[in-house]
Chains A and B, each alone.
Chain A
Amino acid sequence: MKHILIIGATSAIVHATAIRFAETGAQLYLVARNEAKLRANADDLRVRGASRVEVDRLDVNELAAHGPLLERAWAALGEVDVVLVGHGTLPDQPRSEQDIDYALAEFQTNATSTIALLARLANRLEAQQFGTLAVISSVAGDRGRKSNYLYGAAKSAVTTYLAGLRGRLHRAGVRVITIKPGLVDSPMTAHLDKGPLFSSADKAGALCYDAILKGKETVYVPSYWRLIMTLIKLMPETIFKRLNLSA
């Protein structure tokens, strides 16, 4: 896995994953919306061993920019072994209940923009006939909870979309990996109190890298979230609706 395209490259989890690729001497094409942050991460990955790092600016909500961006990425890398998509935001749930424009904008960042990217990526990877498409969704997509169901709904859309895409790309020899982190200590969760269920972004990154190397289909990060989410999904709705599960 030598040619890696990364969307959301300034995310803490994604960068921790990119470090593992850099250490193997891979070539990386980093995409995010903030130029200064991109450059800081690119320098880090070069020092750690990446044989080449290019950066490109994209606000994922500028849907019309997706096509040209992927064109540039493919031109730079020649072929793409791995695409990792990991941008996202954690919407303010109470605000999203009052401010519908805000809610839809957040939904776009976390779901629509991702689906738009995945559609284009799928066509390119299908044509290429190889590669891995790894996308960071979330355990929050496994069941809607009153504390963050806008975010959960967006991640659930991504997860469902990926499941279908996996079936389609399977025949082209392209792997689709759904990554579902639990609670990760990153800038996205900086405002939350950190309990024992939190993992470091570094650990999450190591596990994402592992999942990509092994070509797993759906991976919980860390794996104990599979058990937690199984239990949560088993709970009867009559009880679940009364629960106050934070985060």
Chain B
Amino acid sequence: MSDYRSWGHFPDAPHRHVEPLTWRNAIPDLRQLPGPVLPFGLGRSYGDSCLNEDGTLLDVTGLDRFIALDEARRLLRCEAGVTLEQVLALIVPRGYFLPVTPGTKYVTVGGAIANDVHGKNHHVAGTFGCHVTQFELLRSDGERLRCSPVENNDLFRATIGGLGLTGLITWAEFSLIPIRNAMIEMERIRFDNLDEFFELSARSNDSWDYSVAWLDMQIGGKQLGRGVFMRGNHAKGDLGLEPSGDPFLSVPVNLPELLLNPLTMRLFNTGYYYAQLRRRVQKVVHYEPFFYPLDAIGDWNRAYGKAGFLQYQFVLPRSDDHRVIRQLIERIVESHHGFINVFKEFGDIPSPGMLSFPRPGVTLALDFPNRGRKTLALLDELDAQVRGAGGVIYPAKDARMSAADFQRGYPQWREFSRYVDPHFSSSFWRRVTPPGQRSSVQAFERSSAQA
């Protein structure tokens, strides 16, 4: 029933076999499965980090049981295939919320750890991995290791943000935060240029737990970097603890690419900017539309048509003049390519994860409809600027960064590769660590040659 593609439907990397997992204590011998193996959650990664061409995908969604909810210590323990949607349905009525959530609730706990996901509260809460207290890691040799800051700490750090390569997380425990109700007190503020964004962001850091912005990617010049800033806090008072249900609307088939042509995009961008007539709007809204606006549209990725789309997310280190981010936005505006985007300043809280993406600075995530060579050439240009400024690209969103860029951005990868399980690999990993540099695949090839 499931569809084992990544969210961007690009690239195509057909696996040889899917192994559904159902019981955490009865996982088949991973060494007997065809090719290297890779855990697969809900495939909400955009590129090829959740794909494993010619290998086996371990469908983790059958590991979907809760194990313990310790309300006194605010800790939830569950199997790794439990989704954030299922977690919310359990905890919201009891007055708790996720410590960190990405922009969709359709991700698994294992996936959230493996990409060490971040949310709108990065500036005060860090990444999801910062709130993981322990998990069990199953290695292909059958060994089960309990990993935490005090036990197997090296594997704990390698697995958080470890792209599914260090073994299978069978269950995990993480902390929850208390809420009074399911509502968010939010403000939406229009800003007219990039400097205003940075000012708003700085002023919001202390008093707002959640903040994020959207940039109008159709306008340059003096108005370059204009957009809408959203910030929010969990509301106070007794407003009810209702989690909400399924998407009410879904995009059933691939919409023609026509819908995303430059004209409709311009209309969307300008429309969204002016949709807000007053400069500042204050509202109390349910957490669903605040955190998960896209979840309401179901399979919205199909709106990009058959060719799929590419996500591009980078973070640039802080700089006083914002020169490079300005140039990057300029280039994207010129390309008439940008559509949905998310813009945010990351905070300083370090993650335990060895390969984690978030770091202090400004991050921009964008969707680019796949227009073939033109799109890839544009992204190569953006890479060069990101590289020049000492920035890095987010593997969870990536389908095409060069091995050199990955290795330069994540110099810890060599240390990390010592923890990669010899029978685990992914299309992404093979792409960014070419043969010869990759101890794990060599080991895998060695051991299968022996078998």
Contact = CB atoms under 8 A, between A and B. Distances in A.
Interface of A: 12, 36-37, 40-41, 43-44, 47-48, 185, 187, 190, 194, 198, 200
B332 to A, nearest CB: 40
Given A43-B68, A47-B90, A198-B1, 18 more contacts: A36-B23, A36-B26, A37-B23, A37-B25, A40-B24, A40-B67, A43-B66, A43-B67, A44-B65, A44-B66, A44-B67, A47-B67, A47-B68, A48-B90, A185-B1, A187-B22, A187-B62, A194-B1
B26 A43 contact: no
Interface string B13-45: 000000010111110000000000000000000
B66 A47 contact: yes
Interface in B34-87: 62, 65-69, 78
Interface of B: 1, 20, 22-26, 62, 65-69, 78, 90
Contacts of B25: 36-37, 40
Contacts of B23: 36-37, 40
Task: Please provide the 8 A-B residue pairs with the shortest distance between their CB atoms, ordered closest to farther.
Answer: A47-B66, A44-B65, A194-B1, A36-B25, A47-B69, A44-B66, A43-B67, A185-B1
Question: A190, A198, A200: which has the most chain B beta carbons within 10 Å?
Answer: A190
Given A48-B90, A194-B1, A43 B65 contact: yes
A40 B171 CA distance: 12
Nearest to A190: B20
Nearest to A194: B1
A37 B25 CA distance: 8
Contacts of A12: 22
Contacts of A185: 1
Contact of B65 (A40, A194, A200): A40
Nearest to A10: B23
Contacts of B22: 12, 187
Contacts of B24: 40
A37 B67 CA distance: 12
A194 B3 CA distance: 11
A37 B22 CA distance: 10
A198 B90 CA distance: 27
A36 B66 CA distance: 14
A40 B69 CA distance: 14
A149 B90 CA distance: 42
A198 B2 CA distance: 11
Contacts of B68: 43, 47
A73 B285 CA distance: 47
A200 B20 contact: no
Contacts of B90: 47-48
Contact of A37 (B20, B26, B66, B78): B26
